[in-house]
Amino acid sequence: MKVLVVNCGSSSLKYQLIDSETEQALAVGLCERIGIDGRLKHTPAGGDKVVLEDALPNHEVAIKNVLAALTNPTYGVIKDLSEIGAVGHRVVHGGEKFTKSVLIDDAVIAGIKECCDLAPLHNPANLIGIDACMKLMPGVPEVAVFDTAFHQTMPKEAYLYAVPYEYYTNYGVRRYGFHGTSHSYVSKRAIAVAGLDANNSKVVVCHLGNGASCSAVLNGRSVDTSMGLTPLEGLIMGTRSGDIDPAVIEFVAKKENKSLSEMMTVLNKKSGVDGISGVGSDFRDLDAAAKEGNERAQVAVEAFAYRVAKYVGAYTAAMNGVDAIAFTAGIGENDGKVRKKICDRLGFLGITIDDAKNAIRGEEVIISTPDSKVKVMVIPTNEELAICRETVALI
Ligand code: ADP
């Protein structure tokens, strides 16, 4: 079956058409600047990227143009829309309502709407994408795959914040965690690659991209994760602060006469390794600046690695041990220097790294030495494939 995987952001829309039998992407693409002007980048498998500059005033037009690109006689990959058997949507926040992927119906749409409060930038965009696909492909089954669902197995002691309990019961204030599709996919692959028994396994997944999070996966189930009510908590990220003393917010707001929402923008968009270094959020730029002797870039990378190592240590305690550590996403998959920095801080766990294996790029590889007490590996994440599999399983 051919499955269209859709990931709708507020002004962007990523898509892949995947053949579920071969698990190969037939086409991948991205609509950018929706509601501003519009650009559609479409790449058929084995072909050249096509850039279409048609106006994209809203998500419905964006999806219409994606479907036109997929069926285009020159760069399309299917003859007819009837070849699309199902649509899988990435939905950011499922609250406590959605603990797994679901076939979308009116009740599910209402449930996703209820969670808009928790993800005001993301869930409304996801709903617009779902609505547009329903209009343009009536009768085609659609599935919602939630970023938060995998972490719904966390125990209460891991997800409760130590604030008045009514904030949890009245407003749903608790840790939810994100990147769940990636943590689920990567932890399963890690168990397979390390040859572990899924029912007797302790895995830490380090999803290190522009957004970054760690998770503790005990016997295949998430028992803790570093992102919280929102994706701001936890690791140091590209532009997000991760953990800070909450008192910093009031302290700086008073000094700089900033509002609460201005402070939240600072913590989301102007902090992280970008904030520390002043160089930027991309680790390639940070590595280059650090090499030239830029001290703030050096300390930003060091602080990033330190924070990840600290979380791995914490999650080892949470699971009373660790069998495997898996690195994934942009930095986790590509930056061997950062992986090495993190693992060097974890020598107390009996971890040793094989430098030649650590230099391999773009494939699943165990980077620890055979005598390392913990298996450390790189597992390229594939959220679209995971969404495709979930979609097929549900229909
Ligand atoms: P997200 O999906 O959260 O936007 P990604 O997982 O795509 O992020 O990761 C993007 C980040 O990965 C970039 O900002 C950059 O820091 C890092 N990255 C990508 N390629 C490399 C590379 N070759 N070397 C080092 N870092 C890289």
Cα within 13 Å of Cα(130), Cβ side: 26
* Domain contains 281: yes
Nearest to residue 217, comparing CAs of 193, 192, 184? 184
Residue range of the domain that includes 98: 2-146
- Nearest CA owner, ligand 1 atom 27: 331
Q: Residue 278: left (phi > 0), alpha (psi -120 to 50), or beta? A: left
Task: State the CB neighbour count (10 A cutoff) for residue 337.
Answer: 15
> Could you tell me the distance, in angstroms and rounded to a whole number, from the CA of residue 39 to the centre of ligand 1?
22
Total domains in the fold of the chain = 2
Query: Is residue 182 within 8 Å of residue 384, measured between CB atoms?
Result: no
On whether both 246 and 365 belong to a single domain, the answer is yes
* Domain contains 9: yes
Under the banding of pLDDT at 50, 70 and 90, the label for residue 11 is confident
Under the banding of pLDDT at 50, 70 and 90, the label for residue 251 is very high
- Nearest CA owner, ligand 1 atom 4: 210
Of the residues 146, 161, 185, the one at which a domain ends: 146
Which tens digit of pLDDT belongs to each residue from 367-388?
999 999 999 999 999 999 999 9
Ligand 1 atom, smallest distance to 207 CA: 6
On whether both 215 and 351 belong to a single domain, the answer is yes
* Tokens of residue 190, six digits: 């890690």
On whether both 223 and 130 belong to a single domain, the answer is no
| CA 168 to the chain's CA centroid | 25
Cα within 13 Å of Cα(203), Cβ side: 32
> Could you tell me the distance, in angstroms and rounded to a whole number, from the CA of residue 211 to the centre of ligand 1?
9
* Domain contains 21: yes
> Could you tell me the distance, in angstroms and rounded to a whole number, from the CA of residue 209 to the centre of ligand 1?
5
On whether both 74 and 13 belong to a single domain, the answer is yes
Under the banding of pLDDT at 50, 70 and 90, the label for residue 25 is very high
Dihedral sign for Cα atoms in the order 287, 293, 298, 300: negative
Rounded Cα gap, residues 109 and 123, in angstroms: 10
Residues with CB under 6 A from ligand 1: 209-211, 238, 281-284, 329-331, 334-335
* Domain contains 229: yes
pTM: 0.94
On whether both 140 and 215 belong to a single domain, the answer is no
Of the residues 146, 175, 209, the one at which a domain ends: 146
On whether both 86 and 215 belong to a single domain, the answer is no
Q: How far apart are the first and last CA of the chain?
A: 11
Mean pLDDT of 242-251: 98
Find all residues with CB under 8 Å of 293, minimum gap 6, and list them. Answer: none
Nearest to residue 344, comparing CAs of 282, 385, 301? 301
Length of the chain: 395
> Could you tell me the distance, in angstroms and rounded to a whole number, from the CA of residue 282 to the centre of ligand 1?
7
* Domain contains 139: yes
Ligand 1 atom, smallest distance to 381 CA: 6
Which tens digit of pLDDT belongs to each residue from 76-85?
999 999 999 9
Nearest to residue 215, comparing CAs of 150, 260, 120, 143? 150
On whether both 211 and 302 belong to a single domain, the answer is yes
CATH of the domain at 247: 3.30.420.40
Of the residues 105, 127, 146, the one at which a domain ends: 146
* Tokens of residue 169, six digits: 């019961």
Residues 237, 174, 144, CA angle at the centre, nearest 5°? 75
**Residue 354 bears catalytic tag:** no
On whether both 222 and 81 belong to a single domain, the answer is no
| Catalytic-labelled residue, pool 80, 147, 224, 371 | 147
- Nearest CA owner, ligand 1 atom 7: 330
On whether both 123 and 216 belong to a single domain, the answer is no
> Could you tell me the distance, in angstroms and rounded to a whole number, from the CA of residue 238 to the centre of ligand 1?
9
Which tens digit of pLDDT belongs to each residue from 200-246?
999 999 999 999 999 999 999 999 999 999 999 999 999 999 999 99
AA letter at 72: N
Beta bridge partners of 29: 15, 42
* Domain contains 100: yes
* Domain contains 180: no
On whether both 125 and 213 belong to a single domain, the answer is no
On whether both 113 and 245 belong to a single domain, the answer is no
Ligand 1 atom, smallest distance to 329 CA: 6
Ligand 1 atom, smallest distance to 283 CA: 16
With tokens 């898996």, the residue in question is 326
> Could you tell me the distance, in angstroms and rounded to a whole number, from the CA of residue 35 to the centre of ligand 1?
26
Under the banding of pLDDT at 50, 70 and 90, the label for residue 9 is confident
On whether both 108 and 245 belong to a single domain, the answer is no
Query: Is residue 78 within 8 Å of residue 132, measured between CB atoms?
Result: no
- HEC states along 337-357? HHHHHHHHCCHHHCCCECHHH
* Tokens of residue 102, six digits: 């679901």
Look at strands 39-44 and 50-52 and give their pairing.
antiparallel
Under the banding of pLDDT at 50, 70 and 90, the label for residue 29 is very high
* Domain contains 151: no
Ligand 1 atom, smallest distance to 282 CA: 16
> Could you tell me the distance, in angstroms and rounded to a whole number, from the CA of residue 166 to the centre of ligand 1?
39
